[in-house]
Amino acid sequence: MKTEQSPLEKLHAEQQQLRIDAHAQEEKIGADIKYIQSNGTRLLIRSVTSAILQGLPVTQSNRSDASARYSTGITGLVAGGLSAVMKERKGILPVAWKLVQPFVLTWGIKAVKRLLSRKGR
């Protein structure tokens, strides 16, 4: 026969399970942070490169038949050549603006704060 747990025992068991889950999550987050710290530069460069190159359309006119199977990414950039990138720079500008916009906004906010703090004196 099983005895039913009292509400206090249920709370203690739930608390113990939450502690175990929290500890497992802490270990996972710690491992993720270590990975990011050791590979941060590479991850940043890779994400910026893929964000910029992802907007390049694939056209047969700027690719040879042998390289037509590559659609995007570094291999597509190499196969299409720099001239293809320059032709498609209009497609890259919105992506570049999305990348630069947070920095411009931060700089603008700081500039306005400096101006307001000077006028208040």
Helix/strand/coil (H/E/C) assignment for every residue in the chain: CCCCCCHHHHHHHHHHHHHHHHHHHHHHHHHHHHHHHHHHHHHHHHHHHHHHHCCCCCCHHHCCCCCCCCCCHHHHHHHHHHHHHHHCHHHHHHHHHHHHHHHHHHHHHHHHHHHHHHHCC
pLDDT band at 67 (very low <50, low <70, confident <90, very high): very low
pLDDT band at 95 (very low <50, low <70, confident <90, very high): confident
- Is residue 55 within 8 A of residue 95, CB to CB? The reply is yes
pTM: 0.36
Among 104, 99, 106, residue whose Cα is nearest residue 47: 99
List pLDDT tens digits, range 33-55: 898 888 888 888 888 787 777 75
- Its sign, for the CA torsion 6, 12, 15, 16, is negative
- Is residue 96 within 8 A of residue 56, CB to CB? The reply is no
pLDDT at 69: 45
Which position has the token pair 């964000």? Answer: 51
pLDDT at 48: 78
pLDDT at 29: 93
In angstroms, how far is CA 98 from the centroid of its own chain? Answer: 12
Mean pLDDT of all residues in the chain?
A: 75
